[in-house]
Every structure is written in C-alpha cells, then in structure tokens.
Amino acid sequence: MAEGIGLNVWHRSPAPGSPTVLLIHGLTGTSRWWIPVISHLPASLGLVAPDMRGRGASSSLPGPYGIGTMAEDMKAVLQYLGVADATVAGYSMGAWIAAVLGNRHPEALRRIVMIDGGLRVPVDETLTEDDILDAAIGPSLQRLSARFPTRQAYYDFYREHPAFIGWWQSDLELVFDYELREIEGGLAVDANRDAVAASGRDIFVNDAIVDAGRELTVPADLLIVDHGMVGQPGGFIPEAAATAAAESNRTLGYTMLEGLNHYSVMMGPGAPHVADVIAHDRGPARP
C-alpha cells in the first residue's frame, strides 16, 4: 500500500542507472491489465503499477474519484517511492490521468505515453450529459452489476466479447481473475460504480479534462488504433483528433496502430509495440 493514500501498488525497483515507468490502467481495469505489456518490457526497468481508487485491491478507498484526484494520487505515489523523473504510461482512462499529471507536475515526469486516450472523444452534442454517459460507460456499469456463477463464466464473457475474438489467449485469465471478488451466489467485478461513473464523467463531458493531452509540455507519444471498443471500424480516439493535437503541440506525436482495437492494443497483438514505445526514450513519434 502507498503510505497515506492506501492505494495498492505493485512496485519493482529499477536496475542501477535504469528509469522507472508508472503504469496507469483504464476505467474498470486493474494493475494486472498491464501484464501482457510488462512481459515485453526490459527486466531492468523499474515499474510502478497501482490499482486506482475504486478498482481492484484499492476498491474500498473513498472518493473523490475524479481524474484530478487520481493524478494527485500518482504524484504522491512517485514521491513516496522517491521517483523524481518517471516515464508515465496511461491506457484509456489512464491516459487522461497521465495528461493531467503532466500538466500539473511537469517537473516530476520525463515523458508520457498515452495509449488510446487523453484527447477529446467525439460525442453526440445533441444529447444530454446523462445520455452521453449512458452511451459511453453504460456497458461498463452493466458489467459491474452482473453476477458470474464461476470464474470460467467471467473468462468466457471476455473470450466471447467482439473485441477479443480472434486473439484471445488463455493467459488472459490471470489478468481477469484478479478483478473478481466473491459475493453471495457467485462472483462480481471488484470495482466501485461511483468511481467508474465519476471518472467517466470527467473523460467524456468535463471540459477541463477531456482534451488534457493537447496541453502537455512534457514530451509525449500517443498510440491510437483503427478499431473501437467492440472491435468496430473507427478508433476510440479519431486520427483527425490526433493529427490536430500533434500539429498544435510540438511536444506531442502520435502513431496509428492498424488492425488493433481498444483492447488488443494492450492485451493482445499490440502489447509488444506498446512495450517498445514505453521502453525506448526516443522522443515524440511523428506521423
């Protein structure tokens, strides 16, 4: 646990002379979602992988649960571990947390890697905020309310998910097993609905957060994909948004990873490329 916060944090010290990477997971994920990427990272790197407030082994922590609070949590974790010059990699929700952390505390970071997140996601502006959030995070909240009779039933939920078809691997069971908790009559995802809702609101409708990646002064790489959250054509972060952000901010570069979706970029075929970008401090990529 990180002293003073209570966050559950997995930490590996770096080899002498090697940097440390802070890994921030997505909206309903946990630190274990990084396992496929970590398996491709050099063993010399220091790693810090927290369960964010309201998720995994940090699920019982109180709010507030917004992106700004979690960015300050990450600054406190780095201070506690004595890491003064971290690379921060954030996936999905974690990309917005990394961007806000970089905007508030640029002196504490070496560089940022944002994986399919951190820029404004297109929404139907004719809808109310509640309708936007229902469309954006409603499926995630439904999964948190679901009950699974066995662990295998939960693995099957993901194995049959449209975004996982064609690349599911049995070792992903280790990733998803960690986020389950036992309840009467079965199992449920160990994530706080209020935490997910508050974070989702920041990501999709909070104008102070939604485009945080455009404002970075810390060198940053953005990785985007060409398929969305259910494997459909069209990425979560549109390439047009990435292009505009890179043109307006010379510290930010982006790379389009073709043939990947919002999940396979992290836990499937994209994991080696994500690890390569994290490990090689070569400055912003240019399209």
pLDDT digits (tens, 9 = 90+) for 38-71: 999 999 999 999 999 999 999 999 999 999 999 9
pLDDT of residue 282: 52
Instruction: Provide the token pair at 135.
Output: 């469309």
pLDDT of residue 168: 96
Instruction: Provide the token pair at 166.
Output: 């064609």
d(Cα 262, Cα 110) in Å, to the nearest integer? 26
pLDDT of residue 284: 39
Phi and psi at 79, nearest 5°, equal: -65, -45
Which of these, 138, 136, 116, 147, lies nearest to 239 by C-alpha position? Answer: 116
Instruction: Provide the token pair at 136.
Output: 């954006």
In the predicted model, is pLDDT for residue 20 greater than 90?
yes
- What domains are defined for the chain? 9-279 (3.40.50.1820)
Name the one residue in this structure whose structure tokens are 């990309």: 95
pLDDT of residue 4: 62
Tens digits of residue pLDDT in 142-201: 999 999 999 999 999 999 999 999 999 999 999 999 999 999 989 999 999 999 999 999
d(Cα 81, Cα 85) in Å, to the nearest integer? 11
**pTM attached to this predicted model:** 0.95
Q: What single-letter DSSP state applies at residue 148?
A: B
Which of these, 99, 118, 120, lies nearest to 109 by C-alpha position? Answer: 99
Mean pLDDT of the chain: 93
